[in-house]
Amino acid sequence: MTAADPAGRDGNPSMSASTGAPGGPSRNRRSLTHRVRHALRHPKHVPAHARRVARDTWLQLRHRDHIEYYRAVMAADTARSPEAAVGHNPSVEKWERLGRMQFDYLVGHGLQPHHRILEIGCGNLRAGRLFIDHLDTGHYYGIDISPAILMEAQRTLVREGLQSKLPYLTLVADLSFSFLPDGHFDVVHAHSVFSHSPTYVVEQCLEHVGRVLAPGGFFDFTFGRTEGTEHQVLHEDFYYRTETLIGLARKHGLSARFMDDWEELPHAQSKIRVSVRGERGEGTRGS
Ligand SMILES: C[S@@+](CC[C@H](N)C(=O)[O-])C[C@H]1O[C@@H](n2cnc3c(N)ncnc32)[C@H](O)[C@@H]1O
């Protein structure tokens, strides 16, 4: 958690800075006014934020490339606490709750055991462990840029006794999906990944995701939403306008819609669903 970013890594526990409701749009957390107000309201957050600013400056000097930079952030955070590295709060109970929320949402939207999932930014399988358990053997594919968190993902698999479900866990350097087959995945899922991604990463994903989606499949992603100026806090947290992301999806032949029912859940990020234009993009194959 930072003084400038009360929503923290996962955007989970805080209420919207502007609306007071979970899932509402965020104010510009980078603005001086917001930061001063937040520091006055939460003086205890100031030292942690100062540490994060120092780390950001140091890592930026060492890694000009965003992926390299974010890998280093994840390595440092994972060493401290794998639960905190993928979410705001290191509590195991919150880690489980956030994973369950993602899982229940997709099951509520028709996810069935025969479906195939690609999870982008799978982390330490907070939701992945539930997908793996639910899906047929070999139907879960998790990718991440962080070797450190993928090692933790393996630990989660062992702890949960999920080895026989043979999930794929793969380290990636970009989101071109070039090593994955055409039309394979019924669901592509990215929770709290674009909230840490600059526009070029988001756009690369939207450019290529249509190729790996099965007919009738969809891609769900969460994002830190703002209704004001798009901005970032340090090089870790990014806030986008809904129209920008829907526009980027359209540019790459996809249709996109804002998921209103996700807003009802206690999570500070919003969700967009993308499908290949001309398809229904709602029901997954056979559901
Ligand atoms: C906040 S964590 C969320 C992890 C998981 N989705 C969950 O809900 O528990 C973000 C994850 O995305 C990964 N990540 C960030 N940028 C990525 C990118 N461009 N491609 C793949 N993974 C990425 C990070 O390494 C991290 O594991």
- Pick from 26, 15, 24, 23: nearest CA to 238: 26
In angstroms, rounded to a whole number, what is the distance separating the alpha carbons of residues 81 and 87? 10
Number of C-beta neighbours around residue 42 at 10 A: 14
Q: What is the pLDDT of residues 83-134, one digit of tens each?
A: 999 987 678 999 999 999 999 999 999 999 999 999 999 999 999 999 999 9
**What confidence tens digit (pLDDT) does each residue in 180-192 have?**
999 999 999 999 9
Determine if ligand 1 sits within 6 Å of the CB of residue 121.
yes
Quick one: what percent of the chain has pLDDT higher than 90? 77
Q: Whose CA is nearest to atom 14 of ligand 1?
A: 121
123 lines ligand 1 (CB under 6 A): yes
Q: Are 279 and 180 in contact (CB under 8 A)?
A: no
Task: Spell out a b/e string for 98-131, using b for 16 or more CB atoms within 10 Å of the CB, else e.
Answer: bbebbbebbeebbbeeebbbbbbbbbbbbbbbbb
Centre of ligand 1 to C-alpha 168, Å, is 16
For residues 99 and 127, is the Cβ–Cβ distance under 8 A? yes
What is the pTM for the complete model shown?
0.88
- pLDDT on residue 23: 55
- State the chain's mean pLDDT as an integer: 89
CB–CB of 231/65 below 8 Å?
no
Spatial separation of the C-alpha atoms in residues 285 and 279, rounded to whole Å: 12
Q: How confident is the model at residue 48 (pLDDT cuts 50, 70, 90)?
A: confident
Q: How far apart are CA 83 and CA 89, in angstroms?
A: 7
The span from the first CA to the last CA of the chain, in angstroms, equals 39
Domains of the chain and any CATH numbers: 1-287 (3.40.50.150)
Contact 202 CB / ligand 1 (< 6 Å): no
How many angstroms is it from 144 CA to the middle of ligand 1? 6
What are the phi and psi torsion angles at 10 (to 5°)?
Answer: -95, -10
